[in-house]
Structure 1
């Protein structure tokens, strides 16, 4: 399943790279997304991620979301999204997005997060079409299932529009 996910995402993103290779920023963002997915595949949550991508209607990859704060904080990252038709197996995209936000409160430090959001249904996909939304407020997002058998049986979050997977490093 890990190889399946890697091959699918690599092919989908690679097909689009040739068309848009003229723009260095676009090509760099695609390469960063591929590296983030490769790292995620090697993590313990890869089995759940692969199944979620296979059955979902899309995947958004933000390879480097930087958060920093000292009382007042902020976050910013750029990524891409691929649309998936689970019936035909066809992939479309990429579309390019940025993620940002701010916060106020007791906080200090900085971190960098590779974030992968699997979009499970049309409700989740509509959130990306709107331009601005807040995960957890405007559209429900839950931590994605992990482990080889995470999709077997009933999942309490089965109706969640978006699953999130992340790897964070920082202080």
Structure 2
């Protein structure tokens, strides 16, 4: 019994350390607005080059929220954190962070990119008028699952909010953003175009 308690305690300490390390590596103190903007530019350029139809879809969106790097880590308990930018009309409309926690079998760390498109002004307003927007509670995100090199049929997408989750090898399948909370960041808003 005592060994089991020690093992549980060690797992909890490890999970807390893993999550705190992932958050500290991606915290606003480490990423400036200029760095996040540069990462968003590179992420979108890669997305447009690797997924045919994505540029057209993004141009039709009222807003595009891009999290270039979301770090997920855990040992039993886990968490994820990322910083991103909301683009509207090709301009920076705000800085945001994404946070979530989880419990279950998990070990290790991974990075992924999340792109969320608000396809209607009403969906974008609903997001922007919340102090903290929780996926699955305040709005749902229809994840688009296209294989690497696959094209998006922009005419068949009817959801007001759609999302893409990418890893270094391309788009990932069967993931959920449910429970992720997206909140405005404390970074200053730069209303310059990302170019």
Same fold (TM over 0.5): yes
**Is 1:48 aligned to 2:45, yes or no?**
no
The corresponding residue for 2:93 is 94
- Gapped regions of structure 2 (runs ≥ 5): 1-30, 170-195
Question: Match for residue 160 of structure 2?
Answer: 161
Check the 8 A contact 2:114/2:164 in 1, yes or no.
yes
Determine which of 64, 67, 82 is the counterpart of 1:62.
67
CA separation of 1:49/1:129 partners in 2, compared to 1, >3 Å: closer, same or farther? farther
SS in 2 for 1:150: coil
Distance 1:118 1:145 in 2: 14
* Larger radius of gyration between Structure 1 and Structure 2: 2
Q: Please state if 1:151 is matched with 2:150.
A: no
Residues 2-26 of structure 1 show CA distances to partners (whole Å, capped at 9, x for unaligned) of xxxxxxxxxxxxxxxxxxxxxx811
The answer to whether the Cα contact below 8 Å between 1:61 and 1:116 also exists between their aligned partners in 2 is yes
Identify the structure with the greater strand proportion.
Answer: 1
Deviation at 1:109, TM superposition (A): 2.3
CA RMSD between the two structures:
2.2
Specify the alignment match of 1:82 in structure 2.
Answer: 87
What is the rounded CA distance, in whole Å, between the counterparts of 2:96 and 2:63 in structure 1? 14
Between 1:70-79 and 1:31-40, the stretch displaced more is 31-40
| Matching of residues 8-47 of structure 1 within 5 Å | 25-43=32-50, 46-47=51-52
Query: Given that residues 74 and 103 in structure 1 are in contact (C-alpha distance below 8 angstroms), is that contact kept between their aligned partners in structure 2?
Result: yes
CA distance in 2, matches of 1:67, 1:92: 28
1:34-93: per-residue Cα shift (whole Å, max 9, x none)?
A: 1111221232xx223222212110101110100111110100000101113xxxxxx443
Deviation at 1:149, TM superposition (A): 5.8
Q: CA deviation at 1:104?
A: 1.1
Matching residue of 1:12: none
Count of aligned pairs: 135
Question: Aligned partners of 1:127, 1:117: CA distance in 2, in Å?
Answer: 11
